[in-house]
Amino acid sequence: MSKEGKIVIDDERLEAFEKEKEKRRRAGRIMIFWRRFRRHRMGVFGLFIIIFVTFVGVFAPFLAGPGRLVPFGPRESNVQARFTPPFSYESAKDTAASQEASTLEKTVAAFYANYKLNFINGMSTTALPHYLQLSKIDSIVDETTEEELWSSSLDPADYLNANGSLRLPTSFNGSALIDYRTGGKIAFQINPSKNKLTFVSIFLAVRVDSPESVWGGKFKVYLYEAESDLNSANYLASSSVQSYLVSTGPSISLRLIDFRFSVAGLQITTGSTYTVVLDTEIMDIEFPGINQYVVTRSGPAEMDPLRTTNQNWNALDGWNDQDTATYEGWMAYVAVFYVTNKFHVFGTDALGRDILAATIWGATSSLTVAFLAQGITTLIGIIVGTIAGYYGGFWDNVLMRLTDIILAIPFFFLLLIAITLWEQISLYFMAIIIGVLGWAGIARVVRAQFLSLRELEYTEAARALGVSNVTIMFKHLLPNALAPVIVQTTLGTATVILIEAGLSFLGFGDPLAVSWGTAIQWGMTGNTLRFAPWVATIPGLAIFVVVLGFNLMGDALRDALDPRLKN
């Protein structure tokens, strides 16, 4: 009470005071707990983070995939969604970004639609061994006739420049046919947009002309300044990828196998011209039991200079009976274009996958695994701990020794072993495995609680009232044992998120789902981390924030649930 004025206590105030007093007196444990919890600002902040991320995770299909609604996590149908930024192109039509995005989309569309055209153009403009040139066209007639090949609905005026060279779409910078035996170099100019740093993705599309084929290749990309000697080692950046592809086409046909490949995040100064050199070294690989892929061409087989290099050549000699030479091989059609990152808020990874979308999808994956796994962990832990702690004796021995065994094996490696036993890992499967292997800690906590609870008089009182053991265990005692379990579960959820991210990072995750770990892995390929640090940073930050949120909340819960703290 202040010295100056008296506090007037009228009936109304008194009544309100009494009401509040009564409310506080009556407050159940949950209210008391909430009142204590609320005082921890950081804990409330953590709770806010968790609610926010859960929200993002649940609504990821709406947030991250343009126009796609997939109710349960990122499965097959969402694979495409991962590659697109989390905004619909349609809804952002008027912005400059959307125009660029739409150009990109058209570019990609044109690239797919006109591959025949580009194929021809590639041959006419690039110096390649003669036998791979027109002869190739002549022979690819099994399904696609030459006539069909040429009867493009496009008017040549639409795609040819005045000098007869191909007019490529805006961002389309080069294409080439590359011989698998020699590999080849393709150089093209890029001129990044003036006002924005450009992140370059190069897509490599491969056309394999074979019914069944296995091939692999080494792809190297160099970035040169425009005036440099393209054969020198003075490149600004380089990146290499080795890749294999198995294709089992039905027959010799003109197939475009889309293989995306990229320079890993080259960062380029605006306004200057650069040259990108794609150096390919393509291997053909022998697999016993797989027939050699065959491409027919005219001309005598004996004249094929490469014939002797293939060990299976003799076995395939019979293909000559149609008076055409056969040789094993493939043709790769390489087209390169680059993508600017204007439309991608957090940029893209090396393959042009939008990082924001991936991070949003990552929330779904991580939280699905985290909640499910921790739920299983807690459930098993509670049951095991309750039985061991309440009954004691034999069951205590059996269950606790089992717990010891599980704790004695390094958890992460046990997990890796368990996961590698199955070929295809889904998020749910991963969650179940983490949950089934992770309950030991909770079981111990619950058991310790029950060891003291079962000695308390209210346990004995309940038994003396004729309450059954199961009811005593799970109804009377469990609520008393829950406080440390809640804390442990909250902190454990953070651990599961880290474990899930770790597994995905190492490539043991769900191949069809995007997880934060996977996204970080995208950012670690090649030189990406150096040139495009955001790729790994954004999902990394997401992990950091969520784990921090869970830990802050766990600490606040620990304080709020501690019975020794008064108020």
Partner 1 sequence: MTFAEEPLLELEHLKTQFFTEDGVVKAVDDVSFKLHRGEVLGLVGESGCGKTITSLSILKLVPTPPGKIVGGKVMFNGEDLLELSEERMRQIRGNEISMIFQDPMTSLNPVFTVKNQILENIKLHQDVSEDEALEKGIELMQMVGIPEARRRINDYPHLFSGGMRQRVMIAMALSCNPQMLIADEPTTALDVTIQAQVLDLIKDLQEDLNMAVLYITHNLGVIAEIADNVAVMYAGNIVEYTDVNTIYDKPDHPYTRALLSSIPRMDKKISRLGVIRGTVPNLITPPSGCRFHPRCPYATEKCSTQVPPYVEIEPSHFSFCHYAATL
Which positions lie near partner 1, rule CB under 8 A? 25-26, 28-29, 393, 456-458, 460-468, 476, 479-480
Considering the complex, state which of residue 112 and residue 458 has its C-beta at the smaller distance from partner 1.
458
Minimum Å distance from CB 391 to partner 1? 10
C-alpha pair distances (Å), 504 with each of 71, 323, 430, 497: 22, 53, 10, 11
Report helix angle 355-391 to 393-408, nearest 10.
150
The token pair that represents 456 in the structure block: 């308390």
Minimum Å distance from CB 36 to partner 1? 15
Of 8, 181, 11, 50, which Cα lies nearest the Cα of 556?
50
Considering the complex, state which of residue 94 and residue 455 has its C-beta at the smaller distance from partner 1.
455
Of 230, 97, 246, which Cα lies nearest the Cα of 174?
230
Minimum Å distance from CB 25 to partner 1? 6
Minimum Å distance from CB 438 to partner 1? 27
Helix (H) or strand (E) segment spanning residue 156: helix 156-159
Burial 115-141 (b: 16+ CB within 10 A, else e): bbbbbbbbbeebebeebbeebbbebbb
Considering the complex, state which of residue 410 and residue 563 has its C-beta at the smaller distance from partner 1.
563
Of 518, 219, 473, which Cα lies nearest the Cα of 365?
518
Helix (H) or strand (E) segment spanning residue 358: helix 355-391
Minimum Å distance from CB 560 to partner 1? 15
Minimum Å distance from CB 457 to partner 1? 4
Q: How many Å apart are CA 490 and CA 475, to the nearest integer? A: 22
C-alpha pair distances (Å), 351 with each of 107, 348, 477: 16, 7, 55
Cα of 311 vs its chain's centroid, Å: 40
CB atoms closer than 10 angstroms to residue 218: 14
Considering the complex, state which of residue 394 and residue 413 has its C-beta at the smaller distance from partner 1.
394
Considering the complex, state which of residue 547 and residue 561 has its C-beta at the smaller distance from partner 1.
561
The token pair that represents 427 in the structure block: 């998020």
Minimum Å distance from CB 22 to partner 1? 9
Considering the complex, state which of residue 475 and residue 530 has its C-beta at the smaller distance from partner 1.
475
- Cβ burial of 345 (10 Å; 0-12, 13-18, 19+) is middle
Minimum Å distance from CB 495 to partner 1? 28
Report helix angle 355-391 to 41-58, nearest 10.
120
C-alpha pair distances (Å), 357 with each of 41, 82, 277, 515, 538: 30, 6, 30, 11, 11
Burial 50-83 (b: 16+ CB within 10 A, else e): beebbebbeebbebbbbeeebeebbeeebeebbb
Considering the complex, state which of residue 218 and residue 463 has its C-beta at the smaller distance from partner 1.
463
Minimum Å distance from CB 392 to partner 1? 8
Considering the complex, state which of residue 232 and residue 567 has its C-beta at the smaller distance from partner 1.
567
- Residues 6 or more apart from 442 whose CB is under 8 A from it? 377, 378, 380, 381, 382, 385, 485, 488, 489, 492
Minimum Å distance from CB 29 to partner 1? 6
Q: How many Å apart are CA 552 and CA 42, to the nearest integer? A: 6
Longest dimension (CA), the chain: 117
- For residues 275 and 228, the answer to whether their CB atoms sit within 8 Å is yes
**DSSP-based three-state secondary structure for 178:** strand
Of 160, 162, 178, which Cα lies nearest the Cα of 122?
178
Minimum Å distance from CB 527 to partner 1? 58
Minimum Å distance from CB 475 to partner 1? 9
C-alpha pair distances (Å), 50 with each of 44, 398, 411, 560: 10, 37, 25, 18
Minimum Å distance from CB 461 to partner 1? 5
Considering the complex, state which of residue 315 and residue 470 has its C-beta at the smaller distance from partner 1.
470
Considering the complex, state which of residue 389 and residue 435 has its C-beta at the smaller distance from partner 1.
389
Considering the complex, state which of residue 453 and residue 496 has its C-beta at the smaller distance from partner 1.
453
Considering the complex, state which of residue 264 and residue 462 has its C-beta at the smaller distance from partner 1.
462
Minimum Å distance from CB 18 to partner 1? 13
Considering the complex, state which of residue 288 and residue 563 has its C-beta at the smaller distance from partner 1.
563
Three-class HEC string of 88-150:
CCHHHCCCHHHHHHHHHHHHHHHHHHCHHHHHHHHHHHCCCCHHHCHHHHHHCCCCCCHHHHH
Considering the complex, state which of residue 105 and residue 562 has its C-beta at the smaller distance from partner 1.
562
Minimum Å distance from CB 450 to partner 1? 14
Considering the complex, state which of residue 290 and residue 482 has its C-beta at the smaller distance from partner 1.
482
